[in-house]
Structures are given as C-alpha cells and as structure tokens.
Amino acid sequence: MSEDHAAVRIEAIEAVLVDLPTIRPHKLAMTVMNGQTLVIVRVRCSDGIEGIGETTSIGGLAYGEQSPEGAKLAIDQYMAPLLIGQDATTVQATLARMGRQVQGQSHAKAAIETALLDAQGQRLGLPIHALLGGTDLSSLPVLWTLASGDAARDVEEGLSLIEQRRHKVFKLKIGRRSVAEDVAHVAAIRKGLGDAVPLTVDVNQAWSEAQAMEGMAALQEIGLMLVEQPISGRNRRGMARLAARFDVPLMADEGFNDAQDACDIAQTGAADILALKIAKAGGLHATAKAAVVGEAAGLGLYGGTMLEGSIGSIASAHVFAAGPAQAWGTELFGPLLLKDDIVQERPAYRDFALQLPTGPGLGLKLDTDKLAFYRRKA
C-alpha cells in the first residue's frame, strides 16, 4: 500500500439501537428473552471507508452490568468525542488513548474496536483474523442452546438440528427451577437425545454453593461435557472448591472477563475452562490476550457469546479463529436465534460449523433498509 495511513482520521461515529425478534422465547435462569437489542456502530473514516461493529447484552441487565442502551450512551457522550479526529489506522494506540478517559464499558469498547478493525481490514484488503495473526481455519464448530424450558420440545429441536447437520452439541439452560426439577429436566433430555450426544449445562450463577454440591453430583452421574457458572462469578473460592470436588469440568463465564481474571482463575484453581467473549474482555485484542493467558496456564478455552447478532458473532469468530484453539468449541449461534438480520448476507452455518466469511474486514455488509426498519424509534 502506498497511501500514508497516518493521514486517515476518524470522522464520525454513529451508534444505533436495533430491536430484533427471536425465533422463540429463550429461557435463562434470570430472564426470558423474546427479542434482542443490538447496538450497531458505524465508524466513518477520512478515506471514505466505513467500518461496522456491534455489541449487545443478554436480557438487558439480567446477565451483567452493561446494557445496550448504556453502551450507546457511553459511545455518544464520551467515547465518540475522544475518538473523532484520531488516527483510524493505529487501532490499539487510538483505543488505548481513549481508554485512559473511559473506565469499564467493555461492551461499547468491543463494538468500537470491531468497527475500526473492519475499516482497517477493508483498507488493507485483509480479513480481520489476518490483522490478528491469521488462521487456516475456514469454520468453527458451534453448539446450540436448548432453552425452550420444555424437555420434549428441546429433544425434538435437538434431533432435528442433528438431522440438518447444523449442531451436534447442546447446552441446556437451567437454574430457573429447583435443583431436583432441573436435574430431572437434564436427565429427560439426555434420555431423549441419547448418550452419544454431548451436553453442557449453564446455571448462570443461580445456585448457592450448597445447591451446586447437590446439583453437580447428580449432573455428573448423568454425564455432561461441562458445567458452566453454577454459582456467583464473584465467588472464586467457591468455584475452586467445586472444581476440586467434582470431575466434570467447570467453566467460568460471568466470573471471567479478561486476561487479569484468567491469571487469577489460574492461580486460584477457580475453573477448568474459560468462556471467552469479546464484550466481556472489551474487544478482540483483549480477548486474544485473555486466551493466551488461559492457554499458558493450562486452562481450557471456549468461544462464548453475548448472544450477539451477525456482526458481533463474526467479529468473535475472527478472533477465536486467529487465537489459541477453543478445544471446548464455540457457541456463536446468536444470528440463528434472531428471526431477521441487518446485514445483507447472513452468516452461513453448515456441517455443524459457522463458516468464516472470506471478504476483507468482517466480510459483512450492512443492509441499510433493514437497519432503518428495525432501528428503535424515539
């Protein structure tokens, strides 16, 4: 490239709230989702290139402390004024300068970084994963969450997805009912799908440590691939006691955000596996750093989702593909949970895997008509 990249400036940043319907109610321990709100970020640069990014949350403020509306506010009010006029090509340096005046806000930061990397990839003619070290993977395995709340319906859904060759590993969302009812629900799905189908459960912090002792003992008997965040993410000592007591691998999700957490979890033995998410870490680069710390410490890695739509899921796929292997798979099924989309060509899922787009940047294009249609009206 012969252009002077240092001359490329960030000219404008727009954050748009979009409300999309889900294909069915998604029942989690803490809430039931009937739709998903995305923040779509458009960063326009002085060379005419526009990068796009996205963030969201799970059930508004039900999963974590950051909402889509809060992310938009942080971008509009605080982040955009610090970024406009800055160098669009020195992405990490530009973000680090902004970050000195913006604490937290990992979701908003992930969306902005995605848009800057999308623009930079378009500028250089390279996919985002190539900006992060590159990959020879063309797809990532993706599990599906059975979360209708009804075991018979979940079994039917699971068998149909295996038949379609879309998913062959399933995650069950539990923690809404009593431990005994949840264990019976998991056992019914295990029976319906057969012993050969790998199952995981996510309790989303719903259990006390005593309930987890009872629940994990029973779940271990049923035969699960892993148990995700049974107790509060803040209770690392409790997680360490569970990890030491049970053979079934324990995954940290709400209790793990970034490289610093990975270091602490490794030191305290508070999990066997880390659920990586770009929204928790605060971007793609921060996710890659957390993955490397986890890998070095001998922890298992899993490619998690904040139930992002297509843009956030594909951004995650680029960093997951470029980083250390997610030996425990990924759950980048967010786009499949949504009835419609705001990108022109939706991500492809086949042979039990998400296909990585091959175009420059994210490899996705906004559908501006759909964006206008689903945009939240004042």
Contact status, residue 190 vs residue 198, Cβ threshold 8 Å: no
Using CB under 5 A as the criterion, what x/- string covers residues 106-125 for binding Mg ion?
A: --------------------
- Start-to-end C-alpha separation, the chain: 43
DSSP 362-374: TS--B-HHHHHHH
| CB of 231 vs Mg ion, minimal distance in Å | 13
> Which region among 16-24, 101-109, 246-254, 348-356 touches Mg ion (by CB under 5 A)?
246-254
CB of 76 to Mg ion, least distance (A): 29
Q: How far is the CB of 249 from Mg ion (least distance, A)?
A: 14
Q: Which of residues 129-148 bind Mg ion (CB under 5 A)?
A: none
Q: What is the DSSP letter of 338?
A: B
| Cβ atoms 230, 195 nearer than 8 A | no
**Residue closest to Mg ion when measured from CB atoms:** 253
Instruction: Select 202 or 261, whichever has its Cβ closest to Mg ion.
Output: 202
Residue with the two structure tokens 């610093």: 260
Phi and psi at residue 55, to the nearest 5°: -145, 170
Per the residue annotation, which of 54, 113, 254, 331 is the catalytic one? 331
CB nearer to Mg ion: give 246 or 302. Answer: 302
DSSP 6: G
Q: Name the minimum Å distance from CB 118 to Mg ion.
A: 26
- Name, in order, each residue with C-beta under 8 angstroms of 343's C-beta and a sequence gap of 6 or more: 309, 310, 311, 364, 365, 366, 367
Tell me whether residue 157 or residue 202 sits nearer to Mg ion (CB atom).
202
The distance of closest approach from Cβ of residue 228 to Mg ion in the complex, given in angstroms and rounded to an integer, is 5
CB of 47 to Mg ion, least distance (A): 39
Q: Which is nearer to Mg ion, 54 or 202 (CB)?
A: 202
Is 253 one of the binding residues for Mg ion (CB under 5 A)? Answer: yes
Residue closer to Mg ion by CB (options 51, 304) is 304
Query: How many Å separate Cα 179 from the centre of its chain?
Result: 27
Taking CB under 5 A as the criterion, which residues in 177-216 touch Mg ion?
202
Q: Kindly give the residue spans of alpha helices, DSSP state H, lying in the chain.
A: 68-74, 80-83, 91-99, 106-124, 128-131, 151-163, 179-193, 209-222, 236-245, 259-268, 278-281, 284-296, 310-322, 334-337, 368-374
Whether 331 sits among the annotated catalytic residues: the reply is: yes
Catalytic residue among 173, 277, 280, 289: 173
**Would the CA dihedral through 248, 169, 301, 278 be positive or negative?**
negative
Segment interacting with Mg ion (CB under 5 A) among 40-48, 145-153, 212-220, 253-261? 253-261
370 carries an active-site annotation = no
Q: Which is closer to Mg ion, CB of 58 or CB of 91?
A: 58
Give the number of residues in contact with Mg ion, rule: CB under 5 A. Answer: 2
Catalytic residue ranges: 173, 331
Provide the binding-site residues for Mg ion, judged by CB under 5 A: 202, 253
